[in-house]
Structure 1
Amino acid sequence: MRRLPSLTALRFFEESARHMSFNKSAAALCVTPGAVSRQIRLLEDALGTKLFDRDHKGIRLTKQGAELLACLSDAFDSIERVTRSLSTVRRGERKRLTVSAPPTFATRWLSPRLGSLMDAVPDIDLSLRTDVADDRQCSIRFGYEARADHRSELLFIERHVLVGTMKFAGQPVEALLERLPALHVLHNDTRLTLWPNWLDAAGLPRTFGEKGIEFSTLDQAIHAARAGSGLAVVDRNMIADELHDGALVLLSPVESTGPYGYWLDIAPSFASEDSVQAFAEWLRGEGAKAAQP
């Protein structure tokens, strides 16, 4: 008979170590912080060693805690893979695939292509999320470099163009820039460099992009541009429908690229799953199309 500590306590420890917070792990486990603390104390008593150092700044893993976490993470990953596989068999070989993506990307780029995905990978049950969590098998991320702890690959780089409503078409660009506000997008409370990058590419002064209106999402900026509230520098991949139906028009042939793009991140523990590999292959193909002129 195996002599193991409480599996509940081990689960509470692993969750607390991942979040490095009893409060956050309690929320994830749907229990109180006090319950988490008690389970950790029971585990420490059973093992005869401290797993966390505690002070006014929070909690930190001890050397023994770090050793236990490494072992538990591998063990729980193995259990999760096996139970997910058994669940798939019971459901008739259909595989559940959970993907996270930024809201604008999910709405404007990924959702219109889901029919193609279902044709390419018909045996998956897709769950598309816009929040970030460690249990997502695949994550699409807006950024400018690979993620070191994941299998990370660039799908495509943003291609920025200057757009506005049809009523602005044909007017001199500099006159429009002098008269209309620039619509800016924030990332981590800081303006993205879309405007200065595009103005540099166009050979125009950066002062044209200094005034304007700020938005927390690209989607908000696009809607404001559609309403004629100002001019936007937008990744053309995100406004394919607006350009097609004339809701937005290109006001200049100048196009600037990067430095940001969209990355596919896959945790090593999920990389070998058939559904993940099939989704990644489909996504690479769609990303290659988006990168074409």
Structure 2
Amino acid sequence: MYRDLPPMTWLRAFDASARHGSFTQAAEELGLTPSAVSYQVRGLEAQLGHKLFHRDHKLLSLTRLGHAYLPIVAKAFADIDATTWNLFGNGVQQEVTLRCLTSLNLLWLMPLLEDYKTRYPDSRLRVLSSSWSELSQGEAIDIDIRYGDGSWRDGAVVPLMQNKVIAVAAPGLLGSAPYPDLHRLPLIEMTGVVDTWRHFFARHNPEAAIPEPAYKVDQSLIALELADRGLGVALVADVFARPYLDRGTLLRASPVELSTQHGHHLVLPSDRNSHRPEVRTLVSWLQSQARNSAELVRAAIASSPADS
């Protein structure tokens, strides 16, 4: 019925070795010796008639055919795992680990989690925070929310939000004019992002010199808190500014807005089972909340007193 299907143990050895890039680490996962894993992979290569790995001392890297074969094998195991759980699981929700950028976590995700728990009362969610500069290592993450251009290669990438970047400041700093001359106000710069004050002033006033920022920070939450205290004008994603705009503690400082070159994405790591029902449910809920947030953000910006 199945023509020349390799033994399941050989395929598991290939999958684990490819994910870890090491027979030794694959052996630890499978409860085997490194030599046993190596033997099984060689058996698979012999049956297929092609090399799947380049071997350089103890380092492994996939060949062209290995790269093509791995997603098929990984998906097959994921489908078997998900189907087995759906048919024979004990009905208890498995824990899902979500890692979220700190500012997005506090300013967007946390206020929404009550809705998630109401909709899915049996869910078990583990939420971690990270900074934009951290790498995806050391934790078993089911869903990783990252900010960038979506070019990561360690998992499936699903776009989540593409926001506008706006300038906001405390009412006391802005004064009575509808929009002040930002060149005369202290600026708060976000480091590590591509949508900067330089790009903003290129649209706002391209002929004027760009003032040196008074503060440089690495988190949108910090920039917003500084602005909330009247210490400068923050240039942040509109989704982060929305809670402050809703409260009226910050106002639009300029009608100019930037279309972000980067966005927030869901990354589903290839070494985790993204087909689990709990993971699929959370992904769908996050996407739905992102769509709702986009509409609410537009409404909050449109009703900002500085725009009235």
TM over 0.5: yes
Q: Is 2:289 the partner of 1:283?
A: yes
Mapping of 1:77-226 within 5 angstroms?
A: 77-85=78-86, 89-91=90-92, 94=93, 96-130=95-129, 132=136, 138-144=143-149, 150=156, 152-155=158-161, 157-170=162-175, 177-178=183-184, 180=186, 182-187=187-192, 191-203=193-205, 205=207, 207-208=209-210, 210-226=212-228
Aligned in 2, Cα 1:205/1:135: closer, same or farther, shift over 3 Å? farther
Aligned in 2, Cα 1:228/1:10: closer, same or farther, shift over 3 Å? farther
CA contact (8 A) 1:146 1:152 kept: no
Following superposition, the deviation at residue 103 of structure 1 comes to 2.3
Unmatched 5+ stretches in structure 2: 131-135, 300-308
Question: Which whole-Å CA distance do the structure 2 matches of 1:68 and 1:217 have between them?
Answer: 40
CA contact (8 A) 1:137 1:267 kept: yes
Aligned length: 277
Following superposition, the deviation at residue 11 of structure 1 comes to 4.5
Supply the RMSD in Å over aligned alpha carbons.
4.4
Aligned in 2, Cα 1:204/1:45: closer, same or farther, shift over 3 Å? closer
Question: Which whole-Å CA distance do the structure 1 matches of 2:19 and 2:208 have between them?
Answer: 44
CA contact (8 A) 2:144 2:267 kept: yes
CA contact (8 A) 2:150 2:157 kept: no
Amino acid at match of 1:183: I
CA deviations on 1:71-91 (whole Å, 9 max, x unpaired) are 531332123213443575432
Q: Equivalent residue for 1:255? A: 257
Question: Which whole-Å CA distance do the structure 1 matches of 2:129 and 2:107 have between them?
Answer: 13
Q: Equivalent residue for 2:15? A: 14
Question: Which whole-Å CA distance do the structure 1 matches of 2:45 and 2:263 have between them?
Answer: 49
Aligned-pair identity (%):
21
Question: Which whole-Å CA distance do the structure 2 matches of 1:36 and 1:195 have between them?
Answer: 56
Q: Is 2:22 the partner of 1:41?
A: no
Mapping of 1:209-248 within 5 angstroms?
A: 210-248=212-250
CA contact (8 A) 1:226 1:247 kept: yes
Residues 235-244 or 256-265, more deviating? 256-265
Question: Which whole-Å CA distance do the structure 2 matches of 1:276 and 1:74 have between them?
Answer: 19
Following superposition, the deviation at residue 115 of structure 1 comes to 1.6
Question: Which whole-Å CA distance do the structure 1 matches of 2:147 and 2:68 have between them?
Answer: 33
Unmatched 5+ stretches in structure 1: none
Question: Which whole-Å CA distance do the structure 2 matches of 1:212 and 1:15 have between them?
Answer: 50
Aligned in 2, Cα 1:87/1:287: closer, same or farther, shift over 3 Å? farther
Aligned in 2, Cα 1:136/1:200: closer, same or farther, shift over 3 Å? same
Amino acid at match of 2:110: S
Counterpart of 1:208 in 2: which secondary structure? coil
Question: Which whole-Å CA distance do the structure 1 matches of 2:86 and 2:74 have between them?
Answer: 18
Q: TM-score, normalised on structure 2?
A: 0.66
Question: Which whole-Å CA distance do the structure 2 matches of 1:221 and 1:260 have between them?
Answer: 19
Q: Is 2:56 the partner of 1:55?
A: yes
CA contact (8 A) 1:140 1:262 kept: yes
Following superposition, the deviation at residue 137 of structure 1 comes to 5.3
Q: Equivalent residue for 2:75? A: 74
Question: Which whole-Å CA distance do the structure 1 matches of 2:108 and 2:156 have between them?
Answer: 23
Question: Which whole-Å CA distance do the structure 2 matches of 1:48 and 1:141 have between them?
Answer: 36
Q: TM-score, normalised on structure 1?
A: 0.69
CA contact (8 A) 2:53 2:60 kept: yes
Aligned in 2, Cα 1:208/1:64: closer, same or farther, shift over 3 Å? closer
Amino acid at match of 2:191: L
Counterpart of 1:251 in 2: which secondary structure? strand
Counterpart of 2:189 in 1: which secondary structure? strand
CA contact (8 A) 2:190 2:218 kept: yes
